[in-house]
């Protein structure tokens, strides 16, 4: 019997570091919005640029950051990323205007774009292939949990101790994460091995393009990434407009939006728990069912709002829970299968491309959703979103057999890469 995932101390250390820094991310976002939106009375455009400043580097630099994560030692990259982000959060306490906030957030986004593929690559180094699906489910559970707890804790802390003290706490979470990562083993990746042997490898540009080439070789990764990106883009058309939809209801509770967001996060958390107990499932089928579930959830929410159904305090969070459960079925199986199919020396580049694709969708989606809702109305825009997701489900089912006909050489694990760590 091999070592179980719960007995893998290095994996537990990595997940603990991720949980601490992810919670800190949500602490700072709520604190920044409070500072800029309430104290500085920023305009709607300035508020939009806050999220854009953080997301744009991750959308633009994903393939570049992934190549860096594969070329350099991942443990060192993660530590440097955490330390720099911790210092930048401290710098926010000295910000005198919104442009300083933009600059800090843009730089934080650059180092976050490096951290994410480095973390996924490190996870592949530390976890055996048979445990990858469980590991990715646990990673998603952490993200979902911090999404639920982070804004709640941040709101309490901002009220109790003030915005700037929350920045100090957030900075400390990054430093603590860096300390935990110090205890992880180092691993000689392919780029470092070539350098130590004096061999000339491919150029940085060539390495960056290898991530795209690897994805194109795999029918699953290619269509799975397409399905993930398109469904996320369609989802964001309406997800960013939910609070506008809820305003159409009579006697709506002021806390209803908060309940919906919380239930959505809980839904993804429950899916993560469910999938962490399963090691053998059809990832692509789960993705298709997830797309269908999101589409049905959004469609029902629009229809019930149109008829102004009573007891919205029950059915809105309930449908948000369904959407969260379904979203988990889209994201978690794809990332788990990608980890399985990608050799350890390629994980940075592959996940860099994936991160760039998903971040781009989250940037374009809300902008397009706002324009769509303005032109045709909020309820029709939700029905359009629902219809597009349901159509995408049927198209995906039609291509299911073709997608699952995988070339064997694409999914081969790279020999001698996992378990080769040293302190």
Mean pLDDT of 381-406: 85
What Rg value do the Cα atoms of the chain yield, rounded? 21
* Cα–Cα dist 310/301, whole Å: 13
As given in the structure block, the two tokens for residue 242 are: 């939910």
Average per-residue pLDDT in the chain? 79
In sequence order, what are the residues at sequence separation of 6 or more whose Cβ sits closer than 8 angstroms to the Cβ of residue 13? 180, 181, 183, 184
* Cα–Cα dist 342/413, whole Å: 7
Question: Among 261-265, 284-288, 333-337, which range has the highest average pLDDT?
Answer: 284-288
3-state DSSP assignment of residue 343: coil
- Bigger pLDDT: 306 vs 69: 306
Mean pLDDT of 234-248: 77
Q: What is the pLDDT of residue 126?
A: 84
pTM for the whole structure: 0.72
Q: What is the pLDDT of residue 240?
A: 65
Q: Establish how many alpha carbons lie within 13 A of residue 186's alpha carbon, considering only the half-sphere containing its beta carbon.
A: 9
Residue 278 has pLDDT above 80, yes or no: no
Mean pLDDT of 123-137: 79
Element (H, E) at 117: helix 98-126
pLDDT in tens, 10-67: 888 888 888 888 887 777 777 787 777 667 766 666 766 777 787 888 788 777 878 8
CB burial string 110-128: b at 16+ within 10 A, e below: bbbbbbbbbbbbbbbbbbb
pLDDT band at 417 (very low <50, low <70, confident <90, very high): very low
Closest by Cα among 274, 44, 303, 287 to 138? 274
Residue identified by tokens 């991750």 is 58
Q: Using the Cα atoms of residue 153, residue 157, residue 158 and residue 160 in order, give the sign of their dihedral.
A: positive
Cα 390 from chain centroid?
Answer: 23
Residue 293 has pLDDT above 90, yes or no: yes
Lowest mean pLDDT among 112-121, 208-217, 300-309, 387-396: 208-217
Domains of the chain (ranges; CATH) run 1-184 (1.20.1250.20), 208-405 (1.20.1250.20)
């Amino acid at each position: 019997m091999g070592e179980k995932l719960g007995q893998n101390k290095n994996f537990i250390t990595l997940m603990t570091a991720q949980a601490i820094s992810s919670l800190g991310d949500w602490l700072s976002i709520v604190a920044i919005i409070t500072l800029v939106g309430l104290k500085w009375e920023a305009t709607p455009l300035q508020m939009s640029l806050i999220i854009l400043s953080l997301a744009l580097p991750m959308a633009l630099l994903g393939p570049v950051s992934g190549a860096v994560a594969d070329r350099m030692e991942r443990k060192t990259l993660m530590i440097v990323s955490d330390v720099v982000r911790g210092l930048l959060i401290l710098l926010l306490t000295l910000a005198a205007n919104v442009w300083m906030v933009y600059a800090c957030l843009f730089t934080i986004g650059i180092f976050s774009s490096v951290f994410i593929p480095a973390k996924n690559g490190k996870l592949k180094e530390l976890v055996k292939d048979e445990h990858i699906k469980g590991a990715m489910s646990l990673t998603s559970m952490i993200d979902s949990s911090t999404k639920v707890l982070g804004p709640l804790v941040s709101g309490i802390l901002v009220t109790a101790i003030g915005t700037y003290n929350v920045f100090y706490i957030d900075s400390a979470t990054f430093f603590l994460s860096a300390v935990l990562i110090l205890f992880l083993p180092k691993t000689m990746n392919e780029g470092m091995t070539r350098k130590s042997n004096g061999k000339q490898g491919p150029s940085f540009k060539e390495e960056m393009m290898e991530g795209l080439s690897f994805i194109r070789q795999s029918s699953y990764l290619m269509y799975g990434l397409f399905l993930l990106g398109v469904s996320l883009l369609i989802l964001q058309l309406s997800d960013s407009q939910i609070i506008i939809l809820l305003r159409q209801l009579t006697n709506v509770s002021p806390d209803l939006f908060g309940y919906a967001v919380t239930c959505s996060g809980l839904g993804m958390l429950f899916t993560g728990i469910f999938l962490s107990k399963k090691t053998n499932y059809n990832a692509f089928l789960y993705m298709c069912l997830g797309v269908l579930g999101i589409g049905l959830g959004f469609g029902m929410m629009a229809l019930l709002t149109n008829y102004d159904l009573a007891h919205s305090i029950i059915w809105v969070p309930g449908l948000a829970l369904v959407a969260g459960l379904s979203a988990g079925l889209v994201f978690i199986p794809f990332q788990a299968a990608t980890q399985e199919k990608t050799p350890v020396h390629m994980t940075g580049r592959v996940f860099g491309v994936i991160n760039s694709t998903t971040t781009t969708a989250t940037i374009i989606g809300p902008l397009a959703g706002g324009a769509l809702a303005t032109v045709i109305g909020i309820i029709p825009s939700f029905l359009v979103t629902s219809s597009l997701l349901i159509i995408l489900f049927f198209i995906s089912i039609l291509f299911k057999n073709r997608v699952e006909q995988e070339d064997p050489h694409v999914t081969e694990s790279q020999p001698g890469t996992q378990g080769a760590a040293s302190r």
